[in-house]
Amino acid sequence: MPANDIGRLLRGTAAGDRRSFAELYDETSPYVFGILLRMLADREQAEEVAQEVYLQAWRTAGSFDERRGSGWTWLAMMARSRALDRIRADRSYGRALDRLEAEPATAVDENPGPDPDRETVLGNRGERARAALNALPEEQSQALRLAFFGGLTHREIAERTGIPLGTVKTRIRTALTKLRDALA
Amino acid sequence: MNDERFLELLQESLLSGLPPEEEKALAEELERRGPAGQRFRRELEETLGGLALDARAVAPPDHLRARVLAATEGPAGQPSVIPLPRGRPWLPWAAAGIAAALALFLGVSNLRLRDRADRLAAEAQEARERLAEADSAAVRLADLQSDFDLLSGPGSSVHALAGTGPAPGARARVFLDPLTGRALLFAYDLPLLQPDDVYELWAIRDGTPRAAGTFRAGAEGRARLEIADRALLKDVEALAVTVEPAPGTEAPTGDMVLISSL
């Protein structure tokens, strides 16, 4: 599926087309569910939040604007936001952070997603993202992952890792810049 | 705002949010930078979208798809309300199933117990009624036996009373047992009385009537009276029955309905 097809499916969803919504779910749910599992470290909560995300997508697809970003980013950021809401009010927060620190490049092996032989835009982009992150110095990739998947502020990362705040900001900015270049 | 500060605020805004005053400053800076600033923001957001794919894809369970798609059964843009499972998704169903089964079991058991209790209560009431009837019958049988003993006693004597005045067809018998001292009156064909009246038996000695007891007749005009003060019958000259106001009087005032001469 071309990258812009997610945008097309979101437009169809906004028009109330249930087939577009079903296709959107089929194409993106393994990736959304993977994000939620990574952030929540709890399969049951990941299921709950995934349901919330897609209900929100069905309800608010009309607010998607392709001029401001891709469909996938719109959906992924929505999933991240809902997951952060959940983990900030849940005991799994600490567990998820511990996991992020212990296994920064962790992968959930159970119930693998799409057939690895089936090339998808999101799958290919994910491979590139992981390759770029793995190429980063560990302190940079770890700071970026704590900020993105753990939802920690720069200051919280500094406090948690004992690294000066300025250094944390620099590491994250550097990591983002390299990642942007790798995904461009 | 220099580029470094702009980037710092932008990345922090997208990753974890900023305090309101810094968000306001960032918005103003984006406005000031125009399309270039918006383009940079978009590139950074797309980078985060790519970073999200660092998490490997994992197939969600099929039941999640069913629940999510069921939400689109409602009007477009307004999903139906779907209960979000909390905790183990099977637990509410299991608990509900167990509760329903338990409620059904308890309900059936309760109905059975209630039905059995009702039947036992009815049987107990019936048994009490039969016991009361048996007691009553035993008392009546004992009375009848006693009456029979009196009537059949070797020394018993009987004295007849005849109807008079307003009850010419009435008749009575008084049985005396000198061995036991018991005395019984049996009357027949007595007229029905007004509710406030009673029949009163008089033992007449030395020309003076003495009250020997009051009684009422049944629907068939029959009556029975055991004379409690047996001394009243000693040396009695005559017996008479009059109609008196209830509960009886010290001296006869009403019509005489029965009279005997001993």
- Residue A112's pLDDT is what? 53
The arithmetic mean of pLDDT across residues B231-239, rounded, is: 85
Question: Does A88 share its domain with A1?
Answer: yes
Mean of all residue pLDDT scores within chain B = 82
Residue B150 has pLDDT above 90, yes or no: no
In a domain, A98, yes or no: no
Higher pLDDT, B141 or A145: A145
A167 in reach of chain B (CB within 8 A):
no
Joined together, the tokens standing for residue A97 give 């952070």
The answer to the question of residue A75 being in a domain is yes
Better-scored residue on pLDDT, A118 or B155: B155
- Under 8 Å between Cβ of A36 and A50: yes
pLDDT at position B159: 85
Contacts of A38 in chain B (CB under 8 A): 54-55
pLDDT of residue A152: 87
Q: Is B53 exposed, middle or buried (0-12, 13-18, 19+ CB in 10 A)?
A: buried
The pTM of this model reads 0.55
Domain boundaries, chain B: 3-52, 157-261
Average pLDDT over residues B220-234: 85
The Cα B221–Cα B193 span in angstroms is 10
Domain membership of residue A107 (yes or no) is no
pLDDT at B89: 56
User: Mapped to the 3 state alphabet, what secondary structure does A167-183 carry?
Assistant: HHHHHHHHHHHHHHHHH
Query: Given this model, what pLDDT does residue A107 score?
Result: 43
Q: How confident is the model at residue A137 (pLDDT cuts 50, 70, 90)?
A: very high
Domain co-membership, A76 together with A142: no
Residue span of the structural domain in which A158 resides: 114-184
Same domain, A1 and A81: yes
- Give every CB contact of residue B44 below 8 A, 6+ residues apart in sequence: A176, A180, B10, B11, B14
Dist. CA A60–CA A138, nearest whole Å:
38
H/E element, B93: helix B90-152
Return the CATH number at A42. Answer: 1.10.1740.10
**Which of the listed residues A58, A93, A128 is the one where a domain comes to its end?**
A93
What is the pLDDT at residue B81? Answer: 47
**Structure confidence at residue A21 (pLDDT):** 94
A81: left (phi over 0), alpha (psi -120 to 50) or beta: alpha
Residue finishing a domain among A93, A125, A148 = A93
For residues B225 and B201, is the Cβ–Cβ distance under 8 A?
Answer: yes
Do B11 and A104 meet the contact criterion of CB atoms below 8 Å apart?
Answer: no
Let me know whether A84 and A126 are in one domain. Answer: no
pLDDT tops 90 at residue A183: no
pLDDT in tens, A85-114: 887 776 555 555 666 665 544 444 445 555
Where a domain ends, among A29, A64, A93?
A: A93
Indicate yes or no: CB of B50 within 8 angstroms of CB of A110: no
For the segment B93-126, what is each residue's pLDDT rounded down to a tens digit? 676 777 777 766 676 666 677 777 777 877 777 7
Amino acid at B176: L
**Chain B nearest-CA residue for A66:** B42
What CATH code would you report for B157-261?
2.60.40
Chain B residue numbers with beta carbons less than 8 Å from the beta carbon of A61 are 77
Q: Does residue B62 contact residue B70 with C-beta atoms inside 8 Å?
A: no
Which tokens hold the place of A102? 């212990």
CATH number at residue A125: 1.10.10.10
Per-residue pLDDT at A164: 93
Pair (A70, A32) in one structural domain: yes
Domain count of the fold of chain A: 2
Two structure tokens written together for B251: 């001296």
